[in-house]
Amino acid sequence: MLTENDEILIGLLESIKKDDVNAFRDFFYLYQPGVFNFLFRYTSDSDNAKDLTQEAFIGFWQNRQKIDSSRNAIAYLYKIARNFAINQSVKNLRTRRLEDEDSLIGNSKESTYAEYDRVFLMDAFQKAVEKLPERCRATFVLSRYSGFDYAEIAEIMGVSLQTVKNQMNKAISTLKKFLAEYIN
């Protein structure tokens, strides 16, 4: 049996599918605070979380024809938000890597072979992370870069704690294989 809130949500979703901007506005005002808080936990940056929240809702609107009101549209919204956050984390890592390389090149007099090796290793590590399967990469990024513990990651990704542990083990094992030539 549906609750009154479920019926309201289904009505909003059906209207959104029919391109009703007012229904989408109501949906946005209803769910924006939760999505923002969710993304703020990922980013620890209010401005970035606001931007990602807007992108998530834009993505939801752009895919409104795919919405199935009998399924959990809210989980779909949060999945969009999570994907934007993960992509942003990866983009930030790339930017930091490039900044590190630029500073190394700019300081060529003080550069040593060890610094070149560090930048080369960072590049290899980033490429290895990018090669991980999506679920492994998401788990690894959330744990190692965003600082979430396994229980939080399980909640965010909608999987069991054991699945998170398995994905982390798989990610670390795969990274060790990718980076074996640099480690030895």
pLDDT in tens, 4-13: 777 888 888 9
Q: Which of 126, 139, 130 is nearest to 170 (CA)?
A: 139
pLDDT of residue 165: 95
pLDDT of residue 169: 95
Tell me the fold of 1-81.
Answer: Rna Polymerase Sigma Factor; Chain: A (1.10.1740)
Say what the pTM is: 0.53
Q: Where are the alpha helices (DSSP H) in the chain?
A: 4-17, 21-43, 46-62, 73-106, 113-131, 134-140, 150-157, 161-178, 180-183
CA dist., res. 67 & res. 10, Å (int):
10
* Domain spans, the chain: 1-81, 112-184
CA dist., res. 124 & res. 133, Å (int):
16
CATH of domain 112-184: 1.10.10.10
Residues 136-148, mean pLDDT to the nearest whole number: 81
The pair of structure tokens assigned to 51 is 């931007």
pLDDT in tens, 22-74: 999 999 998 899 889 888 877 778 898 999 999 999 999 998 988 876 667 88
Residues 121-139, mean pLDDT to the nearest whole number: 81
**76 contacts 64 by C-beta, under 8 angstroms:** no
Which of 79-83, 157-161, 168-172 is predicted least confidently? 79-83
